[in-house]
Amino acid sequence: MIKFADRKEAGQKLAERLTKYKKESPLVLAIPRGGVVVATEVAKKLGCLLDVIITRKLGAPGNPELAIGATTSKGGLVIDRELIDKLEITQNYLHTEHLKQLAEARRREKLYTKGKSPDITGKVVILVDDGIATGSTIEAAIRAVQEGLPDKTIVAVPVAPVETADRLRSLVDNLVVLSTPEPFWAIGEFYDSFPQVPDEEVIKILNEINKSK
């Protein structure tokens, strides 16, 4: 099992697998907050701009870390119908949770990007996060990106479960995953250090890396 010291190291290792895209002047899109730290190392290595795409997972009742779906800041919704049925989650809960996470996604978008969306038409877009669990969040991001008509959509993450990676592979032009361990319980177990990333750090990272471009 591969284990990363922290998100920075994971990003550096991921960047090595993405160097072939440097000549295509890609746009790296991070999923905040933890994905921004990983994506920074990719953007540095490829010498390209870094932006964010805001998604929020919809948490299960009593277990907010268990994703039953995800939303983007634009309202695009992906739900895990099988899990929702299994947990007997009501439509009322789903609606309320969607509105709650949509509000948070829009708050973050305004904070991180002042409400501006990146122009991705005709570009090679590399979506980066610190890991994938159920895949709902990244799938919502993939759909949002593809609505912008990019030339290529690449998803790059340090770690993901085998079955999730297999499902997502068919949705993108390329899926780069450094490790697909089994069993898979939570993304954080594959990092020695996996702290929460505050808003202030995300804003600082985006300002610093894009200032030099």
pLDDT tens digits, 144-186: 999 999 999 999 999 999 999 999 999 999 999 999 999 998 9
pLDDT tens digits for range 78-90: 999 999 999 999 9
pLDDT at 211: 72
pLDDT tens digits for range 25-68: 999 999 999 999 999 999 999 999 899 999 999 999 999 988 89
Class of domain 7-53+114-211: alpha beta
Model confidence, pTM = 0.91
Locate the domains of the chain by residue range: 7-53+114-211, 57-111
- What CATH number should be reported for the domain whose range is 57-111? 3.30.1310
Three-state DSSP string of the chain: CCCECCHHHHHHHHHHCCHHHHHHCCEEEECCCHHHHHHHHHHHHHCCCEEECCEEEEEECCEEEEEEEEEECCCCEEECHHHHHHCCCCHHHHHHHHHHHHHHHHHHHHHHHCCCCCCCCCCEEEEECCCCCCCHHHHHHHHHHHCCCCCEEEEEEEECCHHHHHHHHCCCCEEEEEECCCCCCCHHHHECCCCCCCHHHHHHHHHHHHHCC
pLDDT tens digits for range 104-127: 999 998 999 887 888 899 999 999
pLDDT at 106: 92
